[in-house]
């Protein structure tokens, strides 16, 4: 029976791989629509004085919401001889049959996370243009690190799920990395172009990476990813507020859900250490007081034992107490002085003893 179950599972995995491969071929077929989609953008392209020295685009489908989280992290450099005071711009993919994705946060990261105001212009073809003005001037040769993130819904399929992400750049890119973090319970994951390496985090999720050496301004590239997952919705169990909506559009960016989760984890761990320290301190104080009490009891017992021992070692007194003891002494003195005979002394002692009884 167990062999049959293993054989069925093996056949299912093979069929799943074939279906995913067919979908991959269909998505990556020549003449894909992104060529026409970005042609108008290429025609209007104006040379930019800025170069993206580094850019990573991370795609996290069904992470902390049912939609897909997209995170841009990069660094711009001013290659011109003049200060840059213009606006930065990036394309945000959406879906023509769905609402346009809205940015969740836009931040300058040179000195921590400085989240700023931004604008999104709808381009009319299912894409939006995210723009903002840097809060500092980017001088010649200076670099400008930044990050932003947004949600949108590119997933197709109920169990065998695929997503296609088209990327277009306004800037020359010197080092471009694309990564995908599938749900933690996903099976049969693949991506195209094929992942060059992967890394598993402590949260159980695995990131798959593909690095491209360069990308020129006006170029576009299409990425495909897919996996098998029966469940729907968020796969990150650590976020209790997953799926809740947040304010979007023009405004001050807010802290993203991954950062919120890290902060929550930090406070929980810190609280645990504090509670452990207090508990340990209480145990130590109790232990010290208990030791002191035991020492005091032992001292009392030792003292009482010494007193008892001393009493036991003292010889019992043969001298009788009471008023007759003086008469006995008096008779004894008379005998020693020769005033009475020994016979008289014995008779007097016998009488004194008889009176005692």
Q: What is the pLDDT of residue 288?
A: 55
Burial class (CB in 10 A: 0-12, 13-18, 19+), 158: exposed
Q: What is the pLDDT of residue 297?
A: 43
Q: What is the pLDDT of residue 29?
A: 37
Give Cα 248 to chain centroid, integer Å: 26
Q: What is the pLDDT of residue 27?
A: 40
Residues of the chain with pLDDT under 70: 1-46, 94-101, 124, 238-325, 355-357
Return the domain boundaries, the chain: 2-255, 324-356
Q: What is the DSSP string of 44-87?
A: T----SEEEEEEEEEEEETSSSSSEEEEEEEEEEE-SSS-B-S-
Q: Is 16:160 a contact under the CB 8 Å cutoff?
A: yes
Q: What is the pLDDT of residue 97?
A: 52
Residues 46-91: tens digit of each pLDDT: 678 999 999 999 999 999 999 999 999 999 999 999 999 999 999 8
Q: What is the pLDDT of residue 71?
A: 95
Q: What is the pLDDT of residue 74?
A: 97
**CATH 2.60.40.1730 correct for 2-255:** yes
Of residues 201, 192, 342, 325, the one with CA closest to residue 262: 201
Q: What is the pLDDT of residue 7?
A: 57
Q: What is the pLDDT of residue 187?
A: 95
């Amino acid at each position: 029976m167990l062999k049959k179950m293993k054989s069925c599972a093996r056949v299912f995995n093979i069929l799943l791989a074939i279906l995913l491969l067919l979908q991959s071929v269909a998505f990556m077929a020549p003449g894909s629509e992104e060529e026409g989609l970005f042609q108008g953008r290429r025609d209007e392209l104006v040379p930019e004085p800025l170069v993206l020295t580094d850019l990573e685009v991370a795609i996290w489908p069904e992470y902390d919401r049912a939609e897909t989280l997209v995170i841009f992290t990069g660094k711009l450099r001013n290659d011109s001889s003049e200060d840059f005071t213009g606006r930065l711009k990036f394309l945000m993919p959406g879906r023509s049959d769905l609402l346009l994705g809205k940015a969740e946060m836009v931040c300058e990261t040179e000195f921590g996370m400085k989240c700023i105001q931004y604008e999104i212009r709808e381009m009319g073809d299912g894409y939006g243009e995210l723009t903002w003005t840097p809060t500092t001037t980017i001088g010649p040769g200076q670099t400008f690190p930044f990050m932003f993130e947004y949600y949108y819904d590119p997933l197709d399929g109920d169990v065998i799920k695929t997503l296609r992400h088209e990327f277009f750049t306004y800037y020359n890119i010197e080092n471009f990395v694309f990564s995908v973090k599938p749900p933690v319970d996903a099976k049969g994951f693949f991506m195209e172009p094929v992942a060059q390496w992967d890394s598993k985090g402590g949260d159980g999720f695995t990131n798959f990476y593909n690095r491209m050496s360069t990308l020129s301004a006006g170029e576009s590239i299409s990425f495909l990813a897919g996996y098998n997952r029966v469940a729907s919705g968020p796969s990150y169990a650590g976020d209790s507020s997953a799926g809740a909506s947040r304010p979007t559009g023009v405004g001050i960016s807010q802290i993203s859900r991954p950062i919120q989760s890290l902060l929550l984890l930090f406070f929980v761990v810190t609280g645990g250490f504090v509670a452990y320290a207090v508990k340990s301190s209480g145990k130590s104080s109790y232990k010290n007081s208990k030791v002191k009490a035991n020492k005091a009891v032992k001292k009392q017992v030792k003292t009482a034992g010494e007193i008892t021992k001393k009493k036991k070692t003292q010889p019992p007194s043969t001298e009788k107490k009471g008023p007759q003891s003086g008469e006995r002494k008096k008779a004894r003195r008379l005998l020693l002085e020769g005033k009475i005979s020994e016979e008289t002394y014995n008779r007097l002692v016998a009488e004194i003893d008889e009176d005692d009884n």
